[in-house]
Structure 1
Amino acid sequence: MSYLLRFVDLFLHLDKHLSAVIQTYGATTYFLLFLIIFCETGLVFTPFLPGDSLIFAAAALAASGAFKISWLVSLLWLASVIGDNTNYWIGRTFGAKILEKGKIRFVKQEYLERTHLFYEKHGGKAVVLGKFFPIIRTFVPFVAGLGKMNYGRFLASNLIGGTLWIGLFSFVGFNFGNLPVVKHNFSLVIMGILFVSVLPAVFEFVRQRRAVLSALPPS
């Protein structure tokens, strides 16, 4: 339970924890941020890592001079692209074997099924749109590789999606994260980002649930 509380505290106070990391590790923090975004996008068993909120918090600190914004955005974008491509090729090369019973214990089947439905509905656009959905963005490249999506098409969509995702949250964090009202209510802002991020997925779940219920014969 204590580990869960620590994780929640880390999540909601990313600005303070990032500041402490910068003071301790200096420029190495760039590598740590790169690694977190790479793992969130490139490894199917780490979908819980912060993405949107981390980009926002790092960009907000860049506005106060803690990071060089051009380096930060470039590294996070590169981490996203490399992570997605790694995930795609893992899915394409080893996906069928990984999904065999017992070989993916750390991944909920529900996540894969939800992502598969998302991919079936949106096709190639799922690679772009999926960047804005927590958890789904981790599994879309894997499912695209598993489904043998044309690599050129995947790469183009991936570059667009990564640019929009990193660019949007970096822009918002850099331009608004340093405002007094945001700095004094950072936890609420992070919670708001999380809420907005998962809201479309909630709507989609409710819509699918209603569709299933309406298809059932009346009792």
Structure 2
Amino acid sequence: MGITDFLFHLDDSLREAALLYPVATYGLLFTVIYTETAFFPLAPFFPGDGLLFAVGVLAAGGLLHPVLISLLLAVGAALGAWTGYRLGRSFGPAMFKRFAWLDRRAYVRSHAFYRKFGATALITSRFLPIVKALVPFVAGVAEMERGRFARYNVLSACIWVFSLVALGYFLGNVPFIRDHTTLLVLGLAAIFITGLGVTLVTKLVKRQRQSA
């Protein structure tokens, strides 16, 4: 089965995997969530938000243990973001020193931003595709304090995973939702992506007006 078939038949694919390979399914879901949050260049290819909703629907049907899978995926999300943070902290500052053409002012501004708004950025970015993986990396580049990042990283991972899995779990027994999980997952992804696009366009327009 190709990636396109998997995404457009997400509920059927996960249901079949949970029935045939129950233990491996837990490992697969952990790997997907970890990878999406750890490596932002790969994030567009992983349906994190919709996947969590689908996991909740499957848990409502008894195919996955709701508490166990939620805890496992929260750990995966936290470890993934920590990996991104460590990559940013290890390679980010060196990049600005090595390549003179990089905007040093952006580096300085990122330090100031994460000192003031780092916790808020970590929590809100969890619900934005791609951004959820980019923010930890930038937090590492900005050398956000490790203890502060660790606290809000765990908190944001728990909020993200438990809220979306719970949403799928409590709505999973509704016949329409159970029978149209894939469409709802794609719709959820479209909403998040649209929101991100609107935010970026708004900021771009505002910046152009300020420059003018």
After TM superposition, the score normalised by the length of structure 2 is: 0.84
User: Is the 1:12–1:190 contact (alpha carbons within 8 Å) kept by the matching residues of 2?
Assistant: no
CA gap of 1:24–1:98, structure 2 versus 1, over 3 A, is farther
Aligned-pair distance for 1:208? Answer: 1.6
Select 1:85's aligned residue among 75, 82, 85: 82
C-alpha separation in 2, matches of 1:64 and 1:22: 11
Instruction: Tell me which of the two structures has the higher relative contact order, counting C-alpha pairs closer than 8 angstroms and 6 or more residues apart.
Output: 2
C-alpha separation in 2, matches of 1:167 and 1:77: 8
* Of 85-94 and 31-40, the range deviating more from structure 2: 85-94
User: Is the 2:89–2:143 contact (alpha carbons within 8 Å) kept by the matching residues of 1?
Assistant: yes
Number of the residue aligned with 2:156:
161
CA gap of 1:142–1:213, structure 2 versus 1, over 3 A, is closer
Aligned-pair distance for 1:149? Answer: 0.2
Number of the residue aligned with 1:69:
66
Select 2:147's aligned residue among 134, 148, 152: 152
Paired amino acid for 1:178 = N
Runs ≥4 residues deviating over 6 A: 98-101
C-alpha separation in 1, matches of 2:201 and 2:190: 16
C-alpha separation in 1, matches of 2:15 and 2:182: 15
Number of the residue aligned with 1:30:
26
C-alpha separation in 1, matches of 2:16 and 2:95: 38
Residue aligned with 1:27, SS: helix
* Higher share in helix: 2
Aligned residues: 198
C-alpha separation in 2, matches of 1:216 and 1:94: 32
Aligned-pair distance for 1:186? Answer: 2.2
Aligned pairs (5 A) from 1:1-219: 6-48=2-44, 49-97=46-94, 122-215=117-210, 217=212
User: Is the 2:11–2:182 contact (alpha carbons within 8 Å) kept by the matching residues of 1?
Assistant: no
Please tell me the root mean square deviation across aligned C-alpha atoms, in Å.
Answer: 2.3
